[in-house]
Amino acid sequence: MKPIALASTLVLFSVFASPVTSANNGLTGALPVPANRIVGLWTTEAMVGPCGIPPVAQIRNTLLFHAGGTVVENPRSPPTGANGNQRNQALGTWKYSARNRTYTLHLRFDNFVNGVYEGYSTVDREMELSKDGTQVTGEVTSNRYLDNGTLISSVCGNATSTRL
C-alpha cells in the first residue's frame, strides 16, 4: 500500500510542479506545452512597405491566439479608410515548430470599397517568442487579391507583438 501511495504522490507532484507557461491549463484550459506559450491576447505594431525597400507605413492590431492553432485579428483603425476602403476582422491559423522553436501565422480578411466586396488580403508572419514570453517578433508579408484571386499588391516588413 505504501509504494502505491508514494507513486501517486510523485505523479501528482510532477503534474503540479510542471513549469508554468503563459497558457496555464489550470486557468485557461490550454495544455502546458511549449506551443501554447503564445496563447493569449497581444497588441501589435508593424512597419510595412513595398517588398524590397525599407518599410514606411505603420500597422497596428490586436491578436487573440487560441489553443489549438486559431487566431483572430482586430484592426486598430477606423472602419472606413482612405478612398472608401474598408476591411473586416481577420481570421487565421498559427503553427509552432518545435524544431526551431518558432511560430508561423496566416491571416485572411475581406476588403471592401464603398461597402462593396472587392477581394481579400492575406498576412503571413514568422514569429520568435522572447524568452520571458512577453513579445513575439519577426518578418511579415501581406498580399492583396481581387475577388477573382488576382494578386494586386504585396507589402513586406517587420512586426512586434506584446502580450497584454
Per-residue model confidence (pLDDT) at position 146: 97
Domain ranges for the chain = 22-163
What span, in angstroms and rounded, lies between the C-alpha atoms of 69 and 140? 18
Per-residue model confidence (pLDDT) at position 30: 73
Q: How far is it between the farthest Cα atoms of the chain? A: 77
Identity at 68, one-letter amino acid code: G
What span, in angstroms and rounded, lies between the C-alpha atoms of 93 and 108? 9
Per-residue model confidence (pLDDT) at position 12: 37
Per-residue model confidence (pLDDT) at position 135: 98
Low-confidence ranges of the chain (pLDDT < 50): 1, 5-23
| The pairing of beta strand 151-163 with beta strand 135-146 | antiparallel
C-alpha cell at 33: 506545452
What is the fold, at CATH topology level, of the domain defined by 22-163? Lipocalin (2.40.128)
Enter the pTM of the model. 0.80
Per-residue model confidence (pLDDT) at position 115: 87
C-alpha cell at 98: 518545435
- 131 exposure class (CB count in 10 Å sphere: 0-12, 13-18, 19+): exposed
Q: Which residues pair with 66 in a beta bridge?
A: 70
pLDDT tens string 128-161: 999 999 999 999 999 999 999 999 999 999 999 9
